[in-house]
Structure 1
Amino acid sequence: MTAVSASTNTIPGVSPDIYSAADFAQIARIIYSAAGIVLPQGKAMLVYSRIAPLVRAAGSVTFSKYIELIGEDAAELNKAVAALTTNHTFFYREAHHFDHLRTELRPRLIEKLRHRQPVRVWSAGCSSGEETWSIVMTLLGADRSDGVNLARGDLRVLASDIAPHAIKKAEAATYPAKDLKPVPEELRRAWTTESGDQVVMADAMRQIVRFRLLNLHGDWPIKGQFDFIFCRNVMIYFDNPTKERLVKRFSDVLAPGGFLYIGHSERVTGPAANDFQLVGPTIYRRRAA
């Protein structure tokens, strides 16, 4: 970990005239306030490496000048927040979640669609889209004809992230073929098309997904309730009070009996914990009111 000395206000290897311990501390406070992301002292050089290009692009020269800019310019603040998010993800990550979705939840959702009832899904913190497309392929199933009929029903998937570059990649819906190896072959065959060494998601899937920029720490322009929510490996960047507030907000927008899927190192805690029943590894069911 990089040592940050409050007493000397220096970070080893970086001129304090450009980037100081005080600059890091101020950026950490701003990012926490804006997005709930915690940046411990060991992240000082990560902050430097990710924010330095923005400092140069803005013509700010020093980090202190750039801090003044993001205090006045919301668009520039959003760039800084996006630069400090982690977008590591992959297809069919934590496969037991998709097994549960396929065997336990999907049959009920199919019944809802066949009775012309709405089905609403949220991939919160969707990053570059691998999670979202894994969800949709699992929902639509291995039979392409049946899946297309399901997609024509009242089925909508919200996929949100705070980083514009991640949303752009997710919307493009094109990935290296090797990245889809974890996806069951029958789903790949039904819902993707290979073009050279790239794979493209089928139009029938793309039509039911809405990718949106959304800060989980901010306002949610959301109406109605969700049948299930995936929010995995997002809360690891938050402190406990922020996690607990987020879980409560998820509880408020989940339909009774709906499911919340979270990351393998995350847990539901705090005031909303009584709203949920643990039904599988990091799978929680919203209790009836």
Structure 2
Amino acid sequence: MTTASLAPAPLNPLLSDGGPALGDNEFAAIARIMMTEARIHLPPTKKVLVHSRLSRRLREHRLASFKDYIAFAERDAEELRLLVTALTTNHTHFFRESHHFDHLRDVLLPQLKRDPARSPVRMWSAGCSSGEEVYTLAMTLLGTERSEAEWLRGRDLRLLATDISEPVVRAAAEGFYAEATADGVPEPYRRAWMVREGAGYRMADTARALVTAKVLNLFGEWPMKQRYDVIFCRNVMIYFDDTAKSELEARLVEMLKPGGFLYIGHSERLIGTAAERMRSRGNTIYQRTDGAA
């Protein structure tokens, strides 16, 4: 990667640690970049977080100020991608908001098992982070015993996991988790679908074979042509303003099959046309009812 300068930058005296300060104008410019590139809203309360996460990018390129860094990122597509990645929050854990997986297991799974084997099943974890959500989905479908997964034999079932951050998508594809992370998996599931490896656990081949992990900007072009039985998009929309939320939710609903389910985060709600086309089926669980049989 090209750097902006070969010589070490002088230390900025404005901060006690010698690093450059983040001025209001520079923060506003970074906020505009995040809105343009990812539709993520950065309020002024995030200024300290932005400074902390981007300071290392300045040090790596030996840049003297955030103004210089912004100019560099705006003319370097790879650095612009890294800027967005640095400011993307990736917090998740296995079986988070477990009532969603209870609903999937108790309501949807019996329906899937009754459907003809020729019916393809598609599920999408949108904003998958490092993959804990999509593998919780996989384990819920597979069951707590390996014998329970027999219903999948010959079935066309695929789970898509997407995120804007390339590092976390790689982690999801690898399916390896530290022991402390894997502790969040109930023992029956961990015993059936996770394999001890070094200082952690790797998802079993059967679970990993169900998952395809891809980099995707939710506000960019979506290459998927098929519709989905299930979409998980949880604790993602909290980072967007209402205009972006309404746009994204409408697109998500359109990607659902009639009768398909959308699961959102505990502090999120449906607005705009999405609210008109969906019916509540539980706490932050919605079903597309327009066009449904």
Above 0.5 in TM-score? yes
> Mind listing any 5+ residue stretches in structure 1 that lack a counterpart?
1-10
Give 1:146-185 correspondences, 5 Å limit.
146-147=148-149, 150=152, 152-185=154-187
Pairwise CA distance, 1:206: 0.8
Identity within the alignment, %: 47
Residue 22 (str. 1) matches residue 25 (str. 2): yes
Q: Alpha-carbon deviations, 1:190-224, whole Å to 9, x = none? A: 11112354111110111121100011121111111
> Structure 1 CA distance, aligned partners of 2:77 and 2:219?
15
Residue 85 (str. 1) matches residue 98 (str. 2): no
Partner of 1:3: none
For normalisation by structure 1, the TM-score amounts to 0.90
Distance 1:41 1:119, change over 3 A: same
CA contact (8 A) 2:280 2:286 kept: yes
CA contact (8 A) 1:123 1:231 kept: yes
Partner of 1:250: 252
Partner of 1:274: 276
Pairwise CA distance, 1:172: 1.8
CA contact (8 A) 1:151 1:205 kept: no
Could you say what secondary structure the match of 1:169 adopts? helix
Amino acid of the structure 1 residue aligned with 2:272: G
Pairwise CA distance, 1:19: 2.9
CA contact (8 A) 2:19 2:55 kept: no
Residue 129 (str. 1) matches residue 131 (str. 2): yes
> Structure 2 CA distance, aligned partners of 1:12 and 1:169?
35
Partner of 1:225: 227
> Structure 2 CA distance, aligned partners of 1:66 and 1:126?
29
Root mean square deviation of aligned Cα = 2.0
Partner of 1:42: 45
Could you say what secondary structure the match of 1:256 adopts? strand
Distance 1:186 1:18, change over 3 A: closer
Pairwise CA distance, 1:27: 0.4
CA contact (8 A) 1:18 1:61 kept: no
CA contact (8 A) 2:95 2:101 kept: yes
Pairwise CA distance, 1:83: 0.4
Q: Alpha-carbon deviations, 1:15-74, whole Å to 9, x = none? A: 897532110111001111110111111111111111111122234332112211222222
Distance 1:252 1:275, change over 3 A: same
How many matched pairs? 278
Distance 1:154 1:72, change over 3 A: same
Which residue, out of 64, 68, 77, partners 2:67? Answer: 64
CA contact (8 A) 1:126 1:132 kept: yes
CA contact (8 A) 2:117 2:154 kept: no
